[in-house]
Amino acid sequence: QLQNQRLQEQEHSVHDSVELHLRVPLEKEIPVTITQETEKKGHKLIESEDEFPEITEEMEKEIKNVFRNGNQDEVLSEAFRLTITRKDIQTLNHLNWLNDEIINFYMNMLMERSKEKGLPSVHAFNTFFFTKLKTAGYQAVKRWTKKVDVFSVDILLVPIHLGVHWCLAVVDFRKKNITYYDSMGGINNEACRILLQYLKQESIDKKRKEFDTNGWQLFSKKSQEIPQQMNGSDCGMFACKYADCITKDRPINFTQQHMPYFRKRMVWEILHRKL
């Protein structure tokens, strides 16, 4: 039922996106292309030690211990001005849905990792950003980047929550594109348009100059181009792992079968505040 509900919502989303495109043009005509990006062929699913490091017995014990009964309000990890309680960690157990706290913490760990040499620089918006931007407009979020220059990084990560489904949008300033990733195959060009419009408004507000959209492209990944979830529970994990691969400039080479491993791994990473 949940899966059907999500698919129905996505069908409405696609319809709404088309309707929006027909009746509400952007403030100015901008030279962007909406298209479907085709992945380069030849990427093989290789399970290397680097991509899927071993979870040792000691790590297993630590992970199991966290899932045992205890005070649900006990703080198990603190960083990035965020706190993770036992109740939050429980969302990583079995087939539970990830909550905002877990996703925000993970996105912050991706930002922290991006400071390492050789990796693209990253800024991640929190899980409430896109919903606020879409429903209340730019004025409602313009202060969220008071201390951040979004144009100074290589990649912007934007978690998107569609009621009962997590997706991810990625702005890549190096490639001049905005790409939407949905583990249930949804197409959401509207989200990409909203984010491009955000960049235009942010540039005028913070830089006092027009954002050059020439050459920018908007993509929604097709279901056959990226790994898809095979249940109604792992959308949050897929969104996080898409972001993980993208911020390492690596091909997205996992599948549904890796999710139990990733859930355990993420527990350990959050407890130790490091990827």
Mean pLDDT of the chain: 87
Separation of alpha carbons 35 and 48, rounded Å: 32
Residue-wise pLDDT for 5-14, tens only, equals 555 545 444 4
pLDDT surpasses 50 at 242: yes
Residue 18: pLDDT band with limits 50, 70, 90: very low
Q: Catalytic: 192?
A: no
- pLDDT (0 to 100) of residue 41: 39
Q: What is the mean pLDDT of residues 124-139?
A: 98
Q: Mind giving me the DSSP string for 104-167?
A: HHHHHHHHHHTTSTTS--EEE--TTHHHHHHHH-GGGTGGGGTT--GGGSSEEEEEEE-SS-EE
pLDDT surpasses 80 at 74: yes
- pLDDT (0 to 100) of residue 11: 47
- pLDDT (0 to 100) of residue 68: 86
Q: Which of 235, 240, 244, 258 is catalytic?
A: 235
Residue-wise pLDDT for 166-192, tens only, equals 999 999 999 999 999 999 999 999 999
> Helix (H, G, I), strand (E, B), or coil: what is residue 64?
helix
Separation of alpha carbons 31 and 135, rounded Å: 25
Q: Catalytic: 245?
A: no
Phi/psi at 38 (nearest 5 deg)? -105, 125
Residue 251: pLDDT band with limits 50, 70, 90: very high
Q: What percent of the chain has pLDDT over 90?
A: 79
Q: What is the mean pLDDT of residues 239-265?
A: 97
Q: Which of 88, 167, 182, 244 is catalytic?
A: 182
Residue-wise pLDDT for 99-117, tens only, equals 999 999 999 999 999 999 9
Provide the CATH topology of domain 2-39+58-272.
Adenoviral Proteinase; Chain (3.40.395)
Q: Catalytic: 165?
A: yes
Q: What order of strands is seen across the sheet that includes strand 177-181?
A: 33-35, 217-220, 177-181, 166-172, 155-161, 122-124
Partners of 157 in the beta sheet?
124, 170
Q: Which of 165, 192, 234, 244 is catalytic?
A: 165
Residue 66 is encoded by which pair of tokens?
């966290």
pLDDT surpasses 60 at 269: yes
Which of 198, 257, 187 shows the shortest CA–CA distance to 225?
Answer: 187
- pLDDT (0 to 100) of residue 30: 39
Residue-wise pLDDT for 22-70, tens only, equals 333 333 333 444 444 444 433 444 445 567 889 999 999 999 999 987 8
pTM: 0.82
- pLDDT (0 to 100) of residue 52: 85
- pLDDT (0 to 100) of residue 100: 97
